[in-house]
Each structure stands twice: as structure tokens, then as C-alpha cells.
Structure 1
Amino acid sequence: MPTSTPTSADPIPRKARAARGGYSLIEILVVLAIMGLATAVIMPSTSRMMDQATAHAVFFEFQRGVSDLRREANRTGLPIRLVDPEATGTTVTAAQVGEESDVRKIELRSPWRYTLAPPLDIAEGGRCSATTANLVKGDEVVMTLHTATGDCRFLRQAGVQGRSRS
């Protein structure tokens, strides 16, 4: 009886191919290259998103500090002046703020700081004067804010975020 011989040109028998399993080096390198490209595309936008989230957190921290000062002025019946920590240094005369005013500064997380022009005056009843504030990280003005009508609530000014300070 004649014996049958495989007719396929493949030198590796079917059972041996099925048992081999795993991936070739080329397949693994292609997958790694695709993952590297995806990471290169995603990382800059993720970094930008984290910076924006931090800027918003600092904004809310600043707003909370102003709200705390407003509640204190309302509770004690004494006016409070929030000053720019760098423009005035540590010396503010009584004639500048009035005899009964209390001069305050808000501490922000490092490396953030704020500038105010003019200082924010909080009256005894909690009403605030108009002012503009800049939230600054390093030397870059990240956010410019202005007070709403007398209620000490700061609003973001459109179109000035991310400009460098000159």
C-alpha cells in the first residue's frame, strides 16, 4: 500500500505551528511603536489639562480667602483691606487704609501669587470695592479676575489667560 506524503509546501507541520504560540519580535515592536505614538499625542494635552485644573484650584482658593475676609468684616463690623503682597511690601500707613481698617494678605500655594490693583476694600457690612486681580505662576499671568458688583465675587476676565507678564 502506498504511503501518503504531505502535499503542502510548509516545512512546519500544522500541530507544531499551533503549539508554538506567542508573538514574534516584529509584532511586539510594532505594538510598542503604536503605544509610543499614542503616548506622544496624549501627554501634551494631559499636561495642559492638569495645569488648567491647578489654575482653577488656585482661583477657588483665592476666592475662598476673600469670602472668609468678607464674613469676618461682616461679623466684626470692622473694614478689611486686602492688599497686593508685593506692591506694598509690609508697610501700609493708617492714613492709606483708614484708622479702623485691618490690612490683610492671602497666602496661595507655591509658586502661585496674586496682584491687586487697586487694593480690595471690604466694608463693615461685607461690601467690596471694585478691583482687578491677577493670578500669577512664576512670571506668567495665568488668570485675570475682576470683582462683580460689590459682592466680593471675582469673575474671570475673558481673553487674557496665559499671557506673559511684562
Structure 2
Amino acid sequence: MPESNGTKFKQPTVDLLLIEAQIISNKIEATVDRLWRLRNICLTFWLACVAVALGDKVETRSLALIMASCAIPVFFFLIDARYNRWYRKLASRNHAISSFINDQSTENLEMRFPLYDPGYFIMDSKQRAYRDRQESKWRFSLFRNLIDSTPLVFFGMQIAGSIVILVVYF
């Protein structure tokens, strides 16, 4: 006869969550790696574009390539914001799983925890999930990821450098 208090399902649920947490951790590492590779590729393209645009002689300088060097960081900045958005969702889910597993008062809440929820997931103090809360919409919005300090400074400095080169040399 199955137990009625839910203890039968406690260990398999926690095991599934631990497996999911490991998978999410691997995805987070891969996403962060892709973010920095993307930034390095952008920097390489930007430097190559600026170097070719400036050339060796005054006659070989290209206004079109300097203008393109302004557009390259903008294009990569939008791609970076989308990857950063995915990273934030994964990190939020990983934090929710860790909080749930480490909380001492989860004896009766195992079956309420959603086993798969890649979307807007926020836990409140009573371990309830809210999908449509304003703070979760802001946290995972594309605009929020566009004003994140690391990519904003990284790509903003490239755009500013292109503008300075444009003003100084043309």
C-alpha cells in the first residue's frame, strides 16, 4: 500500500532536481563561454575593420569601413543581449532549484515544485512560483539585457572608439 504523506516521492523528486541542476549548470557554463567567445569575435572583427579602414596611407583610408566598424558592435550587442537573456533564465532556474533543495521546510512541498519550467520563474518566501510578476518580466526582458553593464561597456567602447577615429581622421 503506498504511503499517503508523500514521503515515497521525496527522494525521486530531489534526485530529478539534482540531475536538472547539473544539466543547467553545464548549460550555464556553455552559455558564459559562448558569450565571451562572441565578444572576442566582435573585438577581432572590429579591430580588423579599423585596421583596414585606416590603412598605411592617407589615400587608402576608407570612410565606409569606419562606418561599418560602428555597426559591427551594434550587431553583436543585440546577439549578446539574447544570449545574456538565456543565461539569466538558466541562472534563475538553477537558483530556484538550489533554494528548494537546501530549504529545510520542503517536506510537504516536493510535488509542488515544477520539474520543468524554463520560463519566468521566481520563488517567493513561501516557495510559490509566479510567472507573470512584473519583476520577472523586467529581469528577463531584452531591454534589461541591453543595459547590463558588462556588454554595454564592452560594445560601447568599441562604438566610441569608431566615432573618435571617424572624427579625428575624417
Name the TM tier (shorter chain).
0.3 to 0.5
Q: TM-score, normalised by structure 2?
A: 0.33
Q: TM-score, normalised by structure 1?
A: 0.33
Q: Which has the higher strand share?
A: 1
The answer to which structure, 1 or 2, has the higher relative contact order (CA under 8 A, 6+ apart) is 2
